[in-house]
């Protein structure tokens, strides 16, 4: 019997990258997955590929910074599949700049997409999970939210906020058998990091004890651990970083 048979999982920002790998691994464990992304084309393409593999998936385009769009997405999931067992808040962006040069737009875009989005998505989802008396919330934070990083004051603040959000949801919903945990990825090979260019990437990799970038599948493995049934782990932050704790 698959670990997540008949469970329904929403993964935000799952059109590509880490979110796609998370949705794929949840689907391989038997979950019905909701592929939701601001990019409708990516959403449809990923869903098509998952369905061709024989999994159960549906595409719902959604902008996690827009309350109405989020509400429609959650209502669409409940209308089709009747329940929500796993929510992975994964959608995220970077708008890097040194603090003194950072514009208010760069600050706000990252806070809205990486932090306020979790509030907007988790609120309607937790209503559904509370009625079920079961659920798993998994938030994709970052090692930057734990340790800080040059040029990422907006991103560090958003991801640190997401960790505080995770710990508080864990406390408030434990009595309803709902867990909330965070995965904090280190340096993972996706479009987000490829944008940094070869030179910066190889400098980073030199510092990583395991001497390689992480893969989206490395992050998916940690998410799968938190998504499993019967877990006694809540309010936890798991760093998946190849041993680089700075
Ligand atoms: N790549 C890394 O090294 C790394 C490290 C730490 C944390 N993370 C986090 O992992 C998550 C995924 O990152 P990734 O590397 O796969 O990035 P990515 O850019 O490859 O994918 C992010 C996805 O989110 C979607 N998205 C962006 N804004 C959205 C919005 N408003 N509404 C809905 N979807 C939206 C994008 O369309 C894209 O498909 C992010 O939260 C990121 O902060 C990544």
- The ligand 1 atom at the shortest distance from the C-alpha of residue 112 is 31
Q: What percentage of the chain reaches a pLDDT higher than 70?
A: 100
Q: What percentage of the chain reaches a pLDDT higher than 90?
A: 97
Cβ-count burial 26-60 (b if 16+ within 10 Å, e if not) = bbbbebbbbbbbbeeebbebbbeebeeeebebbbb
| Ligand 1 center from residue 17 Cα (angstroms) | 7
Domain-located, residue 3: no
Domain containing residue 52? 8-240
Domain-located, residue 1: no
Q: What CATH number is associated with residue 155?
A: 3.40.50.720
> Per the confidence metrics, is the pTM higher than 0.85?
yes
| Ligand 1 center from residue 46 Cα (angstroms) | 15
For the packed helices 216-227 and 17-28, what is the interaxial angle rounded to 10 degrees?
A: 50
pLDDT digits (tens, 9 = 90+) for 138-184: 999 999 999 999 999 999 999 999 999 999 999 999 999 999 999 99
Domain-located, residue 201: yes
Residue nearest to atom 21 of ligand 1 (CA): 17
Among residues 172, 163, 116, 125, the alpha carbon closest in space to that of 142 is found at: 163
User: Is 91 a residue whose pLDDT tops 90?
Assistant: yes
Quickly tell me which residue has 């877990």 as its tokens. Answer: 231
Domain-located, residue 2: no
Q: For residue 169, give both structure tokens.
A: 């949801």
Q: How many residues does the chain have?
A: 246
Evaluate: CB of 1 within 6 angstroms of ligand 1.
Answer: no
Evaluate: CB of 156 within 6 angstroms of ligand 1.
Answer: no
**Ligand 1 pocket test, candidate residues 190, 191, 200, 205, most atoms within 8 A of CB:** 190
Domain-located, residue 245: no
- Cα four-point dihedral sign 10, 11, 16, 18: negative
Domain-located, residue 246: no
How many domains does one find in the chain?
1
Evaluate: CB of 18 within 6 angstroms of ligand 1.
Answer: yes
Evaluate: CB of 124 within 6 angstroms of ligand 1.
Answer: no
pLDDT band with cut points at 50, 70 and 90 for residue 230? confident
pLDDT at 246 (0 to 100): 80
């Amino acid at each position: 019997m698959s670990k997540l048979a008949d469970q329904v999982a929403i993964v935000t920002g799952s059109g590509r990258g880490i979110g796609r790998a998370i949705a794929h691994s949840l689907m391989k464990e038997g979950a019905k997955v909701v592929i939701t992304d601001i990019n409708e084309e990516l959403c449809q393409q990923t869903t098509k590929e998952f369905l061709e593999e024989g999994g159960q998936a549906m595409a719902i385009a959604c902008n996690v910074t827009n309350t109405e769009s989020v509400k429609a997405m959650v209502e669409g999931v409940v209308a089709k599949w009747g329940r929500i067992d796993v929510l992975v808040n994964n959608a995220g962006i970077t708008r890097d700049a040194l603090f003194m040069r950072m514009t208010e737009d760069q600050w706000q875009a990252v806070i809205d997409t990486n932090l306020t989005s979790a509030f907007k998505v988790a609120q309607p989802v937790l209503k559904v999970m509370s009625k079920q008396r079961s659920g798993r919330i998994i938030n994709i934070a970052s090692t930057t939210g734990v340790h800080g990083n040059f040029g990422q004051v907006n991103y560090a603040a958003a991801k640190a906020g997401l960790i505080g959000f995770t710990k508080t949801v864990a406390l408030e919903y434990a009595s309803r058998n709902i867990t909330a945990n965070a995965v904090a990825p280190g340096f993972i090979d996706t479009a987000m990091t490829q944008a940094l260019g070869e030179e910066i990437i190889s400098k980073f990799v030199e510092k990583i004890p395991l001497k390689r970038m992480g893969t989206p599948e490395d992050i998916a493995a940690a998410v799968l651990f938190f998504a499993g049934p019967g877990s006694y782990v809540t309010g936890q932050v798991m760093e998946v970083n190849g041993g680089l704790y700075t």
